[in-house]
A and B are shown apart, each in its own frame.
Chain A
Amino acid sequence: MRARPAREELAETTAVGEIYLRRLIRAQLSLSLTALLSFGGVFAGLPLALWLAPGVDDIVIFGVPLPLLVLCVAVFPILIAVGLLYERRANALDEAFRELVGGPEDR
């Protein structure tokens, strides 16, 4: 007897299909949480760091104090970098899932 294609299991939400799907959701969620933590570390630590670090106000670059530069300029590239990395990884997870269950073209 031939094994049922995984995508049929999925579409009929059988127990096997559910396991596949749950695994994908877990993987996506842990990716999102990792990205959140890596950025959130910066995001949440920044106010504390700028508040508590001694002498950070006295560092002046191009005539502008460092905290101002960090807040106005430096944070945005970090945001974009996290976004780009996440996008690549999330699409790769989707692709791996497609390969696992097989698309219509595999028939």
Chain B
Amino acid sequence: MTAIIAVSAVALATIGLGAWGVRLARTTSDLFVASRAVTPWWNAAAISGEYLSAASFLGIAGLHMRIGAAALWLPLGFTAGYLALLLFVAAPLRRYGSYTIPDFAEARLTSAHIRTLAAVIVLAIGAMYLVPQLKGAGLTLGEVTGAPYWLGIAIVAAIVAGNVGLGGMRGITYVQAFQYWVKTFAIAVPACILLIHLGGLPERAALFGRELPTAGASGLVVQLDDSQRVEFPRATSYTLDGRLQRARAGEKRELQGRLVLPPGATVPVADGTTAKSGAEWTEPVSPGGDASPVFVYSLLIATFLGTMGLPHILVRFYTNPDGPAARRTTVRVLGMLGLFYLFPAVYGLLGRALVPELYVTGATDVVVLRLPEAAWPGTGGELLGALVAAGAFAAFMSTASGLLVSVAGTLSFDLWGRRERTAVQRRRAFRVAALGGMVVPAVLALGARGLDISLLVGWAFAVAASTFCPLLLLGIWWTRLTTSGAAAGMVAGGLVATGCILCGLAVGDGSGEVLGSLLAQPAALSVPLAFATMVGVSLRGRRRVDSRAQMLALHGPEGLGLEELGFGRRVT
């Protein structure tokens, strides 16, 4: 009940702030001028607020619980992505005045075709990155209220599409900044309070020692409504719907009904999860499986280089007044993300000790939501659980809103809205696109119930890293990039990354360590390929456009008064 109130409060606050923001944006004669008043602290909170998604709030802790410390490379890569952005992209792109990647591609390469290609890739990444947000919403609402999976998806999709369609989320820096603090508070406070309540980390043997996850001192009861295939890592007895049974070590069984494990019994794990001892589980890198060095490096490349290519990231830099402010903001984003990412691992650790039933059901993605009440039965746990659920909803809504703004903008402006001349027509096209852009991800999310959040997120990052990252880096720093080079590189990178992941899904686990790792996270392969294609094709073509003026717009510092000398900085 408390949780429903907390979640509704966050949803209502989002709608309310959105509606208030509409009025704010209208009374300001020029949104651009208004946004110059936003300080780097507010801006950094807004960027972080939009970035911390379902994958960060639920996914990291869930993956940590399932595969162990190897999952903790994710937050490092997510944060380091902003360092790449700071070093190579933030200030030049801010000076250039392009706020979306299709915009940048068209202006830098003076070609409308490359804009269309970039727009298509934005749509693909945006839609795929929306799916995990909606899936998270369905899971969370089901977990908190017992509502069916589709209801959470429908509610969040409707709120976000409505809000964005009415223009509420556009340029509303303060809403996103507020969401950052909601999320950080909602993940940090329960983690700290639970650690104090428990007096530190419990069950050290299962966490860091030789033990597999066990049923605890009072046994474990799991209600399996659907048939679940599990593997018993050790021999144990159990009762299923009251009948006593025994399983041998390594045996696989289909279970359905009320499963009761005796105190201290080793917990069976769902298909697709490997039972690991505490010591194995704590290793950030280990040969084989989901923590192999190849996989870790590929994941680091994807997140480090992919962040700058996500459709909703660069738009936010629009609110910075100039290049130095863009740099300052990005450094603060590093700090704010670092603060948030201290906490998901706490849920992974406590979850392994206190909610081992998630290993049986395989639904480790809900560990953040399930943990407070399991660790602290009673009112305290219920309040903390409500807080966490509210934070999770803030995460889905802020990221989904940012993504949908990009997707709808791309749909309505880049792909078919260019014929519509008047502002009214353009606004109508944007609204229709906001509604339409939500339908496809929502349908996909309904079908993606069994799919891991981390898989979809990994795909989005891999594609972003192998298409937009080379486009941005070479476009900003290399004068000889040509249109055909950029197009060939993006197509090659995007296709190889997508192809690998589809192959990986088709082949399953039986493809060997190195190959299997690359199929699951192809960035280590597709990113160098995309760069090589872009450079190779560009060098082979004729050197055409004179890019000196472009380079000056990208790299010329502010305060030179170049504008008054007749040099036009691109202004949108």
Count B-side interface residues using an 8 Å CB cutoff: 58
* Closest beta carbon of chain B to A102's beta carbon, Å: 8
Per-residue interface assignment for chain B, residues 269 to 285, with 1 indicating a CB less than 8 Å from any chain A CB and 0 otherwise: 00000000001001111
Partner of A43, one of B208, B300, B323, B546: B300
Contacting A at CB under 8 A, from B50-109, are: 69, 72-73, 75-76, 79-80, 83-84, 86-88, 91
Interface pairs A-B: 3 shortest CB-CB: A104-B561, A76-B338, A94-B557
State A68–B296 Cα separation when bound (angstroms): 15
Question: By the criterion CB–CB under 8 Å, are B548 and A21 in contact?
Answer: yes
State A12–B552 Cα separation when bound (angstroms): 10
| B331 contacts across to A, CB distance below 8 A | 80, 83-84, 87
B505 CB within 8 Å of chain A: no
B549 CB within 8 Å of chain A: yes
Question: By the criterion CB–CB under 8 Å, are B324 and A94 in contact?
Answer: yes
Which stretch from B25-33, B388-396, B564-572 is at the chain A interface?
B564-572
By beta carbon, the residue of chain A nearest B297 is: A47
Question: By the criterion CB–CB under 8 Å, are B282 and A7 in contact?
Answer: no
B559 CB within 8 Å of chain A: yes
State A18–B69 Cα separation when bound (angstroms): 50
Question: By the criterion CB–CB under 8 Å, are B557 and A32 in contact?
Answer: no
Question: By the criterion CB–CB under 8 Å, are B284 and A47 in contact?
Answer: yes
| B567 contacts across to A, CB distance below 8 A | 11
B180 CB within 8 Å of chain A: no
| A17 contacts across to B, CB distance below 8 A | 548, 552
Contacting A at CB under 8 A, from B310-341, are: 323-324, 327-328, 330-331, 334-335, 338, 341
By beta carbon, the residue of chain A nearest B547 is: A13
B200 CB within 8 Å of chain A: yes
| A80 contacts across to B, CB distance below 8 A | 331, 334-335, 338
By beta carbon, the residue of chain A nearest B296 is: A47
* Closest beta carbon of chain B to A7's beta carbon, Å: 5
B417 CB within 8 Å of chain A: no
State A50–B300 Cα separation when bound (angstroms): 15
State A64–B36 Cα separation when bound (angstroms): 45
Check A83/B477 contact, CB under 8 A, given A47-B285, A51-B285. no
Check A13/B552 contact, CB under 8 A, given A50-B285, A51-B285. yes
| B551 contacts across to A, CB distance below 8 A | 21, 25
| B324 contacts across to A, CB distance below 8 A | 91, 94
Per-residue interface assignment for chain B, residues 281 to 296, with 1 indicating a CB less than 8 Å from any chain A CB and 0 otherwise: 0111110000001001
State A72–B334 Cα separation when bound (angstroms): 14
Partner of A63, one of B73, B204, B283, B559: B204
Contacting B at CB under 8 A, from A18-73, are: 18, 21, 24-25, 28-29, 32, 35-36, 39, 43-44, 47-48, 50-51, 57, 60, 63-65, 67-68, 71-73
Check A47/B83 contact, CB under 8 A, given A25-B477, A72-B342. no
* Closest beta carbon of chain B to A50's beta carbon, Å: 5
Question: By the criterion CB–CB under 8 Å, are B560 and A71 in contact?
Answer: no
| B201 contacts across to A, CB distance below 8 A | 63-64
Contacting A at CB under 8 A, from B296-314, are: 296-297, 300, 304
Per-residue interface assignment for chain A, residues 2 to 14, with 1 indicating a CB less than 8 Å from any chain B CB and 0 otherwise: 0000011011110
* Residue in A35, A43, A71 whose Cβ sees the most chain B Cβ within 10 Å: A71
* Closest beta carbon of chain B to A68's beta carbon, Å: 6
State A16–B323 Cα separation when bound (angstroms): 24
| A77 contacts across to B, CB distance below 8 A | 338
Question: By the criterion CB–CB under 8 Å, are A71 and B284 in contact?
Answer: yes
29 contacts between A and B (CB under 8 A): A10-B562, A13-B546, A21-B548, A24-B557, A25-B551, A32-B88, A44-B297, A44-B300, A50-B285, A51-B293, A57-B282, A57-B283, A64-B201, A67-B282, A68-B345, A71-B72, A72-B345, A76-B341, A79-B79, A79-B83, A80-B331, A80-B334, A83-B83, A83-B86, A87-B327, A87-B328, A94-B323, A95-B557, A103-B560
By beta carbon, the residue of chain B nearest A77 is: B338
Question: By the criterion CB–CB under 8 Å, are B282 and A47 in contact?
Answer: no
Question: By the criterion CB–CB under 8 Å, are A18 and B548 in contact?
Answer: yes
Partner of A21, one of B345, B552, B559: B552
B426 CB within 8 Å of chain A: no
B556 CB within 8 Å of chain A: yes
Contacts A50-B284, A63-B204, A67-B282 known; list 9 others, CB within 8 Å. Answer: A25-B555, A36-B87, A67-B69, A71-B69, A72-B341, A79-B80, A80-B335, A86-B327, A98-B560
State A28–B95 Cα separation when bound (angstroms): 15
Check A28/B565 contact, CB under 8 A, given A7-B560, A57-B282, A73-B342. no
* Closest beta carbon of chain A to B320's beta carbon, Å: 13
* Closest beta carbon of chain A to B570's beta carbon, Å: 15
| A86 contacts across to B, CB distance below 8 A | 86-87, 327
* Residue in B83, B304, B549 whose Cβ sees the most chain A Cβ within 10 Å: B83
* Residue in B86, B87, B345 whose Cβ sees the most chain A Cβ within 10 Å: B87
* Closest beta carbon of chain A to B355's beta carbon, Å: 19
Question: By the criterion CB–CB under 8 Å, are B286 and A51 in contact?
Answer: yes
Question: By the criterion CB–CB under 8 Å, are A11 and B557 in contact?
Answer: no
| A101 contacts across to B, CB distance below 8 A | 560
Question: By the criterion CB–CB under 8 Å, are A68 and B556 in contact?
Answer: no
State A39–B345 Cα separation when bound (angstroms): 23
Question: By the criterion CB–CB under 8 Å, are B79 and A76 in contact?
Answer: yes
| B279 contacts across to A, CB distance below 8 A | 57
Question: By the criterion CB–CB under 8 Å, are B293 and A47 in contact?
Answer: yes
By beta carbon, the residue of chain A nearest B346 is: A72
State A21–B92 Cα separation when bound (angstroms): 13
| A65 contacts across to B, CB distance below 8 A | 208, 282
Check A68/B69 contact, CB under 8 A, given A11-B567, A25-B477, A29-B477. yes
| A95 contacts across to B, CB distance below 8 A | 557
By beta carbon, the residue of chain A nearest B562 is: A11
State A8–B562 Cα separation when bound (angstroms): 8
| A91 contacts across to B, CB distance below 8 A | 324, 327
* Closest beta carbon of chain B to A31's beta carbon, Å: 8
Question: By the criterion CB–CB under 8 Å, are B562 and A83 in contact?
Answer: no
State A32–B327 Cα separation when bound (angstroms): 12
Check A11/B293 contact, CB under 8 A, given A39-B83, A80-B331, A80-B334. no
State A71–B284 Cα separation when bound (angstroms): 8
